[in-house]
Amino acid sequence: MRVATWNVNSIRARVGRVTEWLVREDIDVLAMQEIKCREPQFPYEPFTEAGYDVELHGLNQWNGVAFASRLPMEDLAVGFEGVPGFGKPDENGLLPSEARALGVTVNGVRLWSLYVPNGRELGDPHYDYKLKWLEQLATETKVWLAEHPGQPLALMGDWNIAPLDTDVWDVSVFEGATHVSPPERAAFTAFETLGLTDVVRPLVPTGYTYWDYKQLRFPRNEGMRIDFIMGSGPFASLVTDARIDRNERKGTAPSDHVPVVVDIDLDLEGEDDRPMIFG
């Protein structure tokens, strides 16, 4: 099964590009972030014509997450328990929720499409929101792993964190900025402590997943690695290949992110004599 994640940066602006890529690259399941639309606005028809069903969580012209799959999707979950909100409180003092997390199960594999808050600037309320959001996601991940220890699980998407200095083109440029701060990196490490693994890095040790549109960042390869597929042990053991599709940052009207792809072999499930790529 070929699984991918891609921050598409507005699906209505890039639907043709996304669906053509899905077919060309033989993708079974795609997790999307920043679809930037509500359910009635989503361009379903091109996906249907390409052979894909869509599940989505979109509330307005910002954020939004979705799945496109040519395999049946089950156990849909919109958001996770205790997910923090952000913005102006309502009359009951509750903060507005944002469309940043969507879960489905495909062929027994639990998949989440995640769009982690950006954080904006150190000290900004959005930065605190980001850390609280990640903390609650980790809390819920711990529960999921305990309740379903044998089920393959992958948290996929735009994490808005560069966990290593080599995940940015020049770490000195980011001094005093978000994405590389110790609290953000600690929040990312918390998922590794729970037993999740970046299943792409062992197979693709270098390469960025995001380049800003400004200042010729892409031609200069001044990028960041902030899109990840974090898999549980049972998921990681099924991974046979991975890649970052850098070419999708080229051409007309690309997203500023590119797809991250893994192949998993479900026939390996339960076998103990397979090669230990992620030992």
Distance (Å, rounded) from C-alpha 84 to C-alpha 174?
A: 27
Please check the confidence at residue 269 and state whether its pLDDT lies above 80: no
- The residue segments making up the domain with residue 239 are 2-268
Q: Is 118 helix (H, G, I), strand (E, B) or coil?
A: coil
pLDDT digits (tens, 9 = 90+) for 148-204: 999 999 999 999 999 999 999 999 999 999 999 999 999 999 999 999 999 999 999
Angle in degrees, CA 208, 109, 231, rounded to 5: 35
**In-domain check, residue 273:** no
Q: What is the CATH number of the domain that holds 218?
A: 3.60.10.10
Cβ 141 vs Cβ 103: under 8 Å:
no
- Residue-level pLDDT at 273: 46
Percent of the chain with pLDDT over 90: 91
Going by pLDDT thresholds of 50, 70 and 90, the confidence category of residue 278 is very low
Distance (Å, rounded) from C-alpha 133 to C-alpha 136?
A: 5
Please check the confidence at residue 276 and state whether its pLDDT lies above 60: no
- Residue-level pLDDT at 270: 59
Average pLDDT over residues 93-107: 94
**In-domain check, residue 276:** no
**In-domain check, residue 151:** yes
**In-domain check, residue 125:** yes
- Residue-level pLDDT at 279: 43
Question: How many structural domains is the chain composed of?
Answer: 1
Average pLDDT over residues 67-79: 98
- Residue-level pLDDT at 92: 86
Going by pLDDT thresholds of 50, 70 and 90, the confidence category of residue 268 is confident
**In-domain check, residue 42:** yes
pLDDT digits (tens, 9 = 90+) for 217-228: 999 999 999 999
Q: Which amino acid is present at 163?
A: P
- Residue-level pLDDT at 78: 97
**In-domain check, residue 56:** yes
pLDDT digits (tens, 9 = 90+) for 18-49: 999 999 999 999 999 999 999 999 999 999 99
- Residue-level pLDDT at 60: 84
Per DSSP, which regions of the chain are E strands?
2-7, 29-33, 53-57, 65-69, 74-78, 101-106, 109-115, 153-158, 197-198, 227-231, 239-244, 260-264
Please check the confidence at residue 277 and state whether its pLDDT lies above 50: no
Look up the pTM and report it.
0.95
List % helix, strand, coil for the chain (3-state, nearest 5): 30, 25, 45
**In-domain check, residue 17:** yes
| Mean of the per-residue pLDDT values of the chain | 95
- Residue-level pLDDT at 62: 86
**HEC string of 218-243?**
CCCCCCECCEEEEECHHHHCCEEEEE
**In-domain check, residue 278:** no
How many CA atoms within 13 Å lie on the side-chain side of 231? 26
pLDDT digits (tens, 9 = 90+) for 244-261: 999 999 999 999 999 999
Q: Is 85 helix (H, G, I), strand (E, B) or coil?
A: coil
> Nearest to residue 261, comparing CAs of 12, 31, 83?
31
- Residue-level pLDDT at 274: 45
Average pLDDT over residues 123-144: 97
Q: In residues, how long is the chain?
A: 279
- φ/ψ of residue 237, rounded to 5: -70, -15
